[in-house]
Amino acid sequence: MPGHFEPIPGGGAAVALDDVEISIIRSLAVQLLELIGPGPGGDAPEDPLAELFAEGPSEPPADPVLRRLFPDAYVDPEAPGTAAEAEERRAHSSEFRRYTENDLRAGKRENALVVIRSLDALAPVDDGGAVLKLAPAESRCWLKALNDLRLAIGARLEITDEDDTDLLYRLPDEDPRKPMVLAYLWLGGLQETLVTTLMS
Protein backbone atom coordinates (compact mmCIF):
# COMPACT_ATOMS: atom_id res chain seq x y z
CA MET A 1 0.00 0.00 0.00
CA PRO A 2 2.84 2.53 0.49
CA GLY A 3 2.62 5.23 -2.15
CA HIS A 4 -0.51 4.01 -3.90
CA PHE A 5 -4.21 3.63 -3.20
CA GLU A 6 -5.78 0.23 -2.71
CA PRO A 7 -9.44 -0.76 -2.35
CA ILE A 8 -10.95 -1.36 1.07
CA PRO A 9 -14.24 -3.06 1.99
CA GLY A 10 -17.27 -0.90 1.32
CA GLY A 11 -15.95 0.65 -1.88
CA GLY A 12 -13.49 3.10 -0.38
CA ALA A 13 -9.75 3.48 -0.79
CA ALA A 14 -6.70 3.50 1.46
CA VAL A 15 -3.11 4.67 1.13
CA ALA A 16 -0.14 4.75 3.50
CA LEU A 17 1.45 8.21 3.67
CA ASP A 18 4.53 9.29 5.56
CA ASP A 19 4.71 12.57 7.46
CA VAL A 20 6.38 14.43 4.59
CA GLU A 21 3.77 13.25 2.06
CA ILE A 22 0.95 14.29 4.40
CA SER A 23 2.55 17.70 4.84
CA ILE A 24 3.03 18.20 1.09
CA ILE A 25 -0.53 17.25 0.13
CA ARG A 26 -2.00 19.36 2.93
CA SER A 27 0.13 22.37 2.01
CA LEU A 28 -0.81 22.10 -1.67
CA ALA A 29 -4.52 21.80 -0.81
CA VAL A 30 -4.32 24.89 1.43
CA GLN A 31 -2.58 26.82 -1.36
CA LEU A 32 -5.28 25.72 -3.78
CA LEU A 33 -7.96 26.99 -1.39
CA GLU A 34 -6.20 30.34 -1.09
CA LEU A 35 -5.93 30.61 -4.87
CA ILE A 36 -9.58 29.76 -5.50
CA GLY A 37 -10.69 32.24 -2.82
CA PRO A 38 -13.57 32.31 -0.37
CA GLY A 39 -16.35 32.75 -2.89
CA PRO A 40 -18.53 35.68 -3.93
CA GLY A 41 -19.99 36.29 -0.48
CA GLY A 42 -16.81 35.90 1.51
CA ASP A 43 -16.83 33.89 4.69
CA ALA A 44 -20.16 35.02 6.14
CA PRO A 45 -22.83 35.93 3.58
CA GLU A 46 -25.58 38.17 4.95
CA ASP A 47 -28.21 36.73 2.64
CA PRO A 48 -27.69 33.04 1.76
CA LEU A 49 -30.53 33.17 -0.79
CA ALA A 50 -28.92 36.08 -2.63
CA GLU A 51 -25.62 34.17 -2.59
CA LEU A 52 -27.35 31.19 -4.17
CA PHE A 53 -28.39 33.31 -7.16
CA ALA A 54 -25.25 35.46 -7.34
CA GLU A 55 -23.74 35.77 -10.79
CA GLY A 56 -20.09 34.96 -11.26
CA PRO A 57 -17.45 36.67 -13.37
CA SER A 58 -17.91 36.86 -17.12
CA GLU A 59 -14.23 37.18 -18.01
CA PRO A 60 -11.56 34.48 -17.70
CA PRO A 61 -9.24 34.81 -14.68
CA ALA A 62 -5.92 36.58 -15.19
CA ASP A 63 -3.93 33.94 -13.29
CA PRO A 64 -2.86 31.08 -15.61
CA VAL A 65 -3.60 28.48 -12.91
CA LEU A 66 -7.15 29.75 -12.48
CA ARG A 67 -7.55 29.84 -16.26
CA ARG A 68 -6.55 26.15 -16.32
CA LEU A 69 -8.94 25.31 -13.47
CA PHE A 70 -11.79 27.38 -14.96
CA PRO A 71 -11.29 27.29 -18.74
CA ASP A 72 -13.52 28.95 -21.31
CA ALA A 73 -16.31 26.66 -22.38
CA TYR A 74 -16.68 27.67 -26.01
CA VAL A 75 -13.54 29.54 -27.01
CA ASP A 76 -11.09 27.60 -29.16
CA PRO A 77 -8.49 29.67 -31.02
CA GLU A 78 -7.95 26.75 -33.43
CA ALA A 79 -11.63 26.49 -34.35
CA PRO A 80 -12.39 27.41 -37.97
CA GLY A 81 -14.84 30.18 -38.73
CA THR A 82 -15.25 33.87 -39.24
CA ALA A 83 -14.42 36.64 -36.79
CA ALA A 84 -18.15 37.01 -36.12
CA GLU A 85 -18.42 33.31 -35.25
CA ALA A 86 -15.42 33.60 -32.93
CA GLU A 87 -17.02 36.59 -31.22
CA GLU A 88 -20.26 34.65 -30.82
CA ARG A 89 -18.35 31.78 -29.17
CA ARG A 90 -16.70 34.28 -26.81
CA ALA A 91 -20.12 35.69 -25.89
CA HIS A 92 -21.50 32.21 -25.18
CA SER A 93 -18.42 31.37 -23.13
CA SER A 94 -18.78 34.58 -21.11
CA GLU A 95 -22.44 33.85 -20.40
CA PHE A 96 -21.69 30.25 -19.43
CA ARG A 97 -18.91 31.39 -17.08
CA ARG A 98 -21.18 33.95 -15.43
CA TYR A 99 -23.68 31.28 -14.39
CA THR A 100 -21.36 28.36 -13.61
CA GLU A 101 -18.03 29.57 -12.22
CA ASN A 102 -19.27 30.26 -8.69
CA ASP A 103 -20.58 26.68 -8.41
CA LEU A 104 -17.38 25.27 -9.91
CA ARG A 105 -15.29 27.23 -7.41
CA ALA A 106 -17.48 26.04 -4.53
CA GLY A 107 -17.05 22.42 -5.63
CA LYS A 108 -13.28 22.76 -5.89
CA ARG A 109 -13.14 24.43 -2.46
CA GLU A 110 -15.18 21.61 -0.94
CA ASN A 111 -12.95 18.94 -2.49
CA ALA A 112 -9.82 20.64 -1.15
CA LEU A 113 -11.43 20.93 2.29
CA VAL A 114 -12.22 17.20 2.29
CA VAL A 115 -8.53 16.52 1.62
CA ILE A 116 -7.40 18.83 4.43
CA ARG A 117 -9.95 17.53 6.94
CA SER A 118 -9.18 13.87 6.21
CA LEU A 119 -5.45 14.49 6.62
CA ASP A 120 -6.01 16.42 9.85
CA ALA A 121 -8.05 13.52 11.24
CA LEU A 122 -5.29 10.95 10.67
CA ALA A 123 -3.95 9.03 13.64
CA PRO A 124 -0.18 8.55 13.34
CA VAL A 125 1.28 5.05 13.37
CA ASP A 126 4.32 4.01 15.41
CA ASP A 127 6.91 4.36 12.63
CA GLY A 128 5.61 7.77 11.47
CA GLY A 129 3.02 8.65 8.89
CA ALA A 130 -0.44 7.16 8.81
CA VAL A 131 -2.85 5.08 6.78
CA LEU A 132 -5.50 7.24 5.12
CA LYS A 133 -8.83 5.42 4.71
CA LEU A 134 -11.46 7.09 2.58
CA ALA A 135 -15.15 6.33 2.17
CA PRO A 136 -16.39 6.23 -1.44
CA ALA A 137 -17.65 9.84 -1.38
CA GLU A 138 -14.38 11.07 0.14
CA SER A 139 -12.46 9.09 -2.48
CA ARG A 140 -14.27 10.94 -5.27
CA CYS A 141 -13.50 14.30 -3.62
CA TRP A 142 -9.85 13.29 -3.32
CA LEU A 143 -9.77 12.28 -6.99
CA LYS A 144 -11.12 15.68 -8.06
CA ALA A 145 -8.77 17.54 -5.71
CA LEU A 146 -5.72 15.59 -6.95
CA ASN A 147 -6.72 16.49 -10.49
CA ASP A 148 -7.02 20.17 -9.56
CA LEU A 149 -3.62 20.11 -7.82
CA ARG A 150 -2.00 18.56 -10.89
CA LEU A 151 -3.69 21.09 -13.18
CA ALA A 152 -2.43 23.92 -10.95
CA ILE A 153 1.14 22.64 -10.86
CA GLY A 154 1.02 21.85 -14.58
CA ALA A 155 -0.03 25.44 -15.31
CA ARG A 156 2.85 26.78 -13.20
CA LEU A 157 5.25 24.47 -15.06
CA GLU A 158 3.65 25.53 -18.39
CA ILE A 159 2.81 21.95 -19.34
CA THR A 160 0.54 21.96 -22.37
CA ASP A 161 1.01 18.47 -23.83
CA GLU A 162 2.66 15.08 -23.28
CA ASP A 163 5.96 16.26 -24.82
CA ASP A 164 6.30 18.83 -22.04
CA THR A 165 5.92 16.06 -19.44
CA ASP A 166 8.63 14.00 -21.15
CA LEU A 167 11.02 16.96 -20.95
CA LEU A 168 10.34 17.34 -17.23
CA TYR A 169 11.65 13.84 -16.57
CA ARG A 170 15.04 14.94 -17.89
CA LEU A 171 15.42 18.13 -15.83
CA PRO A 172 18.71 18.28 -13.92
CA ASP A 173 18.50 18.14 -10.14
CA GLU A 174 19.70 21.75 -9.80
CA ASP A 175 16.77 23.08 -11.86
CA PRO A 176 14.54 25.16 -9.53
CA ARG A 177 11.44 23.54 -11.07
CA LYS A 178 12.55 20.05 -10.00
CA PRO A 179 10.62 19.94 -6.66
CA MET A 180 7.43 21.02 -8.44
CA VAL A 181 8.02 18.43 -11.16
CA LEU A 182 8.48 15.68 -8.58
CA ALA A 183 5.25 16.74 -6.83
CA TYR A 184 3.42 16.78 -10.18
CA LEU A 185 4.59 13.27 -11.09
CA TRP A 186 3.95 11.88 -7.60
CA LEU A 187 0.41 13.30 -7.49
CA GLY A 188 -0.16 11.78 -10.92
CA GLY A 189 0.78 8.37 -9.57
CA LEU A 190 -1.57 8.79 -6.61
CA GLN A 191 -4.35 9.92 -8.92
CA GLU A 192 -3.84 6.99 -11.26
CA THR A 193 -3.96 4.41 -8.47
CA LEU A 194 -7.05 6.06 -6.99
CA VAL A 195 -8.81 5.89 -10.38
CA THR A 196 -7.89 2.20 -10.67
CA THR A 197 -9.08 1.55 -7.13
CA LEU A 198 -12.44 3.25 -7.68
CA MET A 199 -12.99 1.34 -10.92
CA SER A 200 -12.21 -2.07 -9.37
What three-state secondary structure class fits 13? strand
Residue 175, in any domain of the structure: yes
For residue 124, the 8-state DSSP code is P
Report how far residue 192's alpha carbon sits from residue 13's, in angstroms, rounded to the nearest whole number.
13
Q: Which residues contact 121 (CB under 8 A, 6 or more apart)?
A: none
Contacts for 158 with CB less than 8 Å, ≥ 6 apart: 164
Give the list of residues 6+ apart from residue 23 with CB closer than 8 angstroms, or none.
Answer: none
142 belongs to a structural domain? yes
Helices in the chain by DSSP H: which ranges? 19-36, 48-52, 64-69, 83-120, 136-156, 162-169, 178-199
Report pLDDT digits (tens) over 103-112: 999 999 999 9
Label residue 89 left, alpha or beta by phi (over 0 means left) and psi (-120 to 50 means alpha).
alpha
Share of the chain above pLDDT 90, in %: 48
Name residue 197's amino acid: T
Q: Does 146 map to a domain?
A: yes
Query: Comparing 46 with 162, which gets the higher pLDDT?
Result: 162
Burial of 35 (0-12, 13-18, 19+ CB in 10 A): middle
- Kindly state whether residue 1 falls inside one of the protein's structural domains: no
Q: What's 11's DSSP letter?
A: T
Domain that holds residue 101: 6-199
pLDDT for the residue 43: 47
% of the chain beyond a pLDDT of 70: 87
Q: Which amino acid is at 84?
A: A
Higher pLDDT, 155 or 57: 155
Q: Has residue 14 been placed in a domain?
A: yes
Specify the number of domains making up the chain: 1
- 125 inside domain: yes
Confidence grade of residue 1 (pLDDT, cut at 50, 70, 90): very low
Domain-located, residue 132:
yes
